[in-house]
Amino acid sequence: MMRLVVVGNGMAGSRLVSEVRDRDPHIKITVFGAESRQPYNRVLLSNVLAGSSRPEQVRLIDSTWYGAHRVEAAFGDAVAHIDRETRHVVTEGGRREPYDLLVLATGSDAIVPPIPGVERAIPFRTLDDCERIIEAAQQARNAVVVGGGLLGIEAARGLAGRGLPVTLLARVTN
Ligand SMILES: Cc1cc2nc3c(=O)[nH]c(=O)nc-3n(C[C@H](O)[C@H](O)[C@H](O)COP(=O)(O)OP(=O)(O)OC[C@H]3O[C@@H](n4cnc5c(N)ncnc54)[C@H](O)[C@@H]3O)c2cc1C
């Protein structure tokens, strides 16, 4: 039986898994995710930050889906190594999983500039980040958002909507 391993449980990885299962009821599918959450729609995180959606409202796949569709999901255990010789992935937790077909759907990370003091800042990329920002906002008197692109503006809007005075810092280029 063909063994498919998908690394990444973001929007691309989770959609791939459901599409493959729809087309092939037999293939053995294992999906690994570094985030311990069920897959969610990252594009809608701004709504969670603004308070207009709850985390469960942006979920893409329910946890019961995996068992019902015979897909093994290992979330909260990142793949740390690919052994191409023996065709295995190895997770941070030490699990080895063999594959015939390996898909990397690992997306991207937030770029955190190397500015002194940056360790006190929270990036805006994951649902966990969102919850940390909301928690910090509850104690804060004001907020500074660094980055004036789409995500920076959405973060600033969300925080302002929570009643915080917000300063948005953007690099101006000609
Ligand atoms: C707040 C916000 C708003 C956005 N709004 C828009 C928008 O309006 N329009 C738009 O087009 N795009 C938007 N984007 C971008 C969009 O979310 C991404 O393009 C999309 O999420 C990419 O999906 P992906 O599955 O490829 O990657 P990701 O969503 O990054 O998912 C990759 C997953 O793989 C996991 N992973 C990484 N490495 C490993 C590993 N070694 N082992 C196991 N798992 C691993 C990660 O933890 C992550 O969960 C937005 C992004 C954010 C953060």
Render pLDDT for 45-71 as a digit per residue (tens, 0 to 9). 999 999 999 999 999 998 899 999 999
Distance 60 CA to ligand 1 centre (A): 13
CATH of 3-104, one of 3.40.50.300, 3.40.1710.10, 3.50.50.60, 3.30.70.270: 3.50.50.60
Ligand 1 proximity of 149 Cβ (cutoff 6 Å): no
- Tell me, what's the pLDDT at 158? 93
Name which of 35, 19, 3, 43 is nearest 106 in CA terms: 35
Distance 1 CA to ligand 1 centre (A): 30
Give dist(CA 174, CA 172) in Å, integer: 7
- Categorize the per-residue pLDDT at 6 as very low, low, confident or very high, splitting at 50, 70 and 90: very high
Alpha helices in the chain (DSSP H): 11-23, 45-50, 63-68, 127-139, 150-161
The pair phi, psi for residue 132, each rounded to 5°, is: -65, -40
Is CATH 3.50.50.60 the right assignment for the domain spanning 118-169? yes
Cβ(157)–Cβ(163) below 8 Å: no
Cβ(147)–Cβ(170) below 8 Å: yes
Taking the CA of residue 12 as reference, the ligand 1 atom at the shortest distance is 25
SS3 string, 29-47, reads: EEEEECCCCCCECHHHHHH
Ligand 1 proximity of 107 Cβ (cutoff 6 Å): yes
CATH 3.50.50.60 residue ranges in the chain? 3-104, 118-169
Q: What is the mean pLDDT of the chain?
A: 95
